[in-house]
Amino acid sequence: MKAHYQIVIIGAGTAGIMTAAQLLKKDKSLDIVIIDPAEMHYYQPAWTLVGAGTYDFAKTAKSMRDLIPKGVEWLQDSVTEFFPEEHKIETQKGVKISYDYLVVAPGLVNDLSLIEGLEEAVKKGIVCSNYIDPKYTWECLKNFKGGNAVFTQPTTPIKCGGAPQKIMYLAADYFRRNGLDKKSNVVFATPGTVIFGVKRIADTLMKVIHRYNVHFKPFYAPVKIDADKKIVYFKSVAPDDNNCIVNEGNVLGEKQQGNSLIEMPFDLLHLAPPQTAPKFVKESVLVNEAGWLDVDINSLQHKKYPNIFGIGDVAALPTAKTGAAIRKQAPVVVDNILKLIKGKTADNKSYQGYSSCPLVTGYGKMVLAEFNYKNEFTPDPKLKMMLIGDSSKEHWRLWLLKKYMLPYLYWHKMMKGEDV
């Protein structure tokens, strides 16, 4: 390990490894170090399928050592502090490393403390979450005998915002296939106003909601879980003139307290935990008021420190936090760093917020939501040609893309810095 590197990359997730691999493909002489403490790297998009019993968890993991690009040094340590004025970072082992250019890509972290009782409920096995342990989600689905199956998500940004509803659709399909649908109430409760922000996709998903007889509850923000009584509490975030919360004949057994607090009993509860930037980022001078890395949304360059770039889930970008977004972000970051190295301006501002959410709607069915900052439906021309059809509609070909093609492309193309 050296005291100075030309390029320091924090995080060996999708963003960090892709950026390093693409940089080296452009210039093998670059001096790069990746800092990350983890032994294993996980292909987390497949955890939705693991939670539904249709993907092997072991296949989502690979040794970090095998994925770090050859020619890149790996420092197995954690960053604890930034010194951007000095162009330095400090690690948990007390090592200070200086850099010419810094790429901040540590992803985000779960913060169970932001919902009262959540940590206890997870420890007791009362709540399951594909974000925490997808294998346990599958156990919960298999052991479900009927009643309220509640799926919800927090008010914070989360990685792959569509994931909480994907497992809900798969669960509803599983219940139907196993004769549980007539004695089950499937609930999707979200703080959001619609099922999905892209209208064309939302129109398709509402048909799926009706097909499974899902109780769709917009404006529901989870605030507390009583693990012993198996009750989840929601705060209504609906406009003031919409105080009629408990309805639908109240088959769910909801109780309303005042105008905004609702309690709902559950027999199964799947929750995407609240998520934030890692502590060392959140408490640094590099973030915006919301605690995310303050970068230009088109160039990914930091707004105050021009030799710092943010990429992936940690970046303050008004689009979904997905691996597909990183696929479009990485070439922009790479191009801008190479321009700075050559003494030019980092003027590549071509990232327009592209993200993609493969929305599994049942076993063997999927919709592919592709969109930009304006929430416009923006299907990738390559995929459109390959899949032959409208990806805003359910299709079995899209399921094959999710289960087989995307994992292959991830491990064999994206992680090696190849254009996909």
- Find the catalytic residue in 128, 140, 244, 357: 357
- Considering only CA atoms, which of 215, 155, 158 is closest in space to residue 181? 215
| Tokens read off for 262 | 């609702």
The count of other CB atoms within 10 Å of the CB of residue 80 is 16
The Cα diameter of the chain in Å comes to 68
| Residue 240 dihedral angles phi and psi, to the nearest 5° | -55, -30
- Considering only CA atoms, which of 67, 81, 77 is closest in space to residue 20? 67
- Dist. CA 277–CA 289, nearest whole Å: 12
- Dist. CA 224–CA 237, nearest whole Å: 15
Q: Are 401 and 409 in contact (CB under 8 A)?
A: no
Strands 88-91 and 220-226: unpaired
- Find the catalytic residue in 128, 140, 160, 244: 160
DSSP state letters, 83-104: ETTTTEEEETTS-EEEEEEEEE
The burial of 265, by beta-carbon neighbours within 10 Å (0-12 exposed, 13-18 middle, 19 or more buried), is given as middle
Report CA 357 to chain centroid distance, whole Å.
10
Report CA 202 to chain centroid distance, whole Å.
19
- Dist. CA 142–CA 193, nearest whole Å: 31
- 244 noted as active-site residue: no
Q: Are 10 and 280 in contact (CB under 8 A)?
A: no
Q: Give the list of residues 6+ apart from residue 58 with CB closer than 8 angstroms, or none.
A: none
DSSP state letters, 208-258: HHHHTT-EEETTEEEEEEETTTTEEEEEE-S-TT----S-GGGTT--EEET
Catalytic residues: 160, 357
